[in-house]
Amino acid sequence: MAEKGWEVDLTGAKQNTGMWLVKVPKYLSQQWAKSSGRGEVGKLRIAKNQGKTEVSFTLNEELASIHDTTGKLASVSAPREHPFVLQSVGGQMLTVFTESSSGTPDDKSDSIKTDKLAMEGIVVQRAECRAAASESYMKLKRMHIEITSKPVRLSKQLDKAVTTNYKPVADHQYNIESERRKKEEGKRARAEKQQVLNMLFSAFEKHQYYTIKDLVDITKQPVNYLKDILREICTYNAKGTHKSTWELMPEYRHYQAGEKSD
């Protein structure tokens, strides 16, 4: 850790501080987040009953209020009583660390800011904080199920047609362009094969690589007819630097190996 700029404070390990690892319900942590940060959020009670340890948590009354998705106060409230279900650590070595930064946001020095880890203690007890079976808890679960089962999108009946955002069109621009290209393709008359070859050889004297679109524009020939001729004199680059382009076969090239042009 020293190589990464970490400083580790092992005071907690030296003091052999024992800590509890407790799992709490999501709604309970949300209620805790609503507190001002000052004062208490509840009371923890640890007692012995016939030699058995009993632990429970009581949520403060002012933090029991629940708000719905619209922010309004709901008709249900969070359960206040939460008994603990104690669990063993299970032979695991669990530790608790805290992290703090040694630098400050406005620190303009060029020194490297390092983070500090402090070992607060070793987990000696695991527990799960559960809500006691009560009417308020059942109402809370019912409200949660209703919220999660509510569809995200709802259908709504309109009294009149919407004319401000979208207007129906006879045909979309994409379809119009596609039909235009098809008509132009159909109007292209096939030239004699030798004439097409002459145009292709003339084009490849200027550049080594062409896309099929460029060659169609040069020869004014139908795509399928042009491809049939290209397969006789050219190779297609399916990958590499000049992907999706055509170039002359070696036996038809006018340049030498070291004189390739783009």
pLDDT the model gives residue 70: 62
Answer whether 78's CB lies under 8 Å from 136's CB.
yes
How far apart (Å, rounded) are the C-alpha atoms in residues 72 and 226?
70
The span from the CA of 132 to the CA of 81, in Å, is: 6
For the chain, the DSSP string reads -GGGTEEEE-HHHHHT-EEEEEE--HHHHHHHHTS-SSS-SEEEEEEEETTEEEEEEEE-GGG-EEE-TTSPEEEEE---EEEEEEE--TT---EEEEEEESS-TT---SSPP-EEEEEEEEEEEEEEE---S-HHHHHHHHHHHHHHHS-SS-----SS---SS----SS-HHHHHHHHHHHHHHHPPPPPHHHHHHHHHHHHTT-S-B-HHHHHHHH---HHHHHHHHHHHEEEE-SSTTTTEEEE-GGG--S-GGG---
Are 97 and 10 in contact by the 8 Å Cβ rule? The answer is no
pLDDT at 60: 86
Q: Are 182 and 237 in contact (CB under 8 A)?
A: no
pTM of the model: 0.43
DSSP notation for 205-234: TT-S-B-HHHHHHHH---HHHHHHHHHHHE
Instruction: Count CA atoms closer than 13 A to 229's CA, side-chain side.
Output: 21
| Residues 119 and 9 sit within 8 Å (Cβ to Cβ) | yes
Q: Could you count the other beta carbons within 10 Å of the beta carbon of residue 141?
A: 14
Average pLDDT for runs of 10 along the chain of length 262: 61 73 87 79 89 89 74 75 87 82 55 70 88 82 79 80 68 77 69 93 93 93 92 93 93 66 50
Q: How high is the pLDDT of residue 143?
A: 80
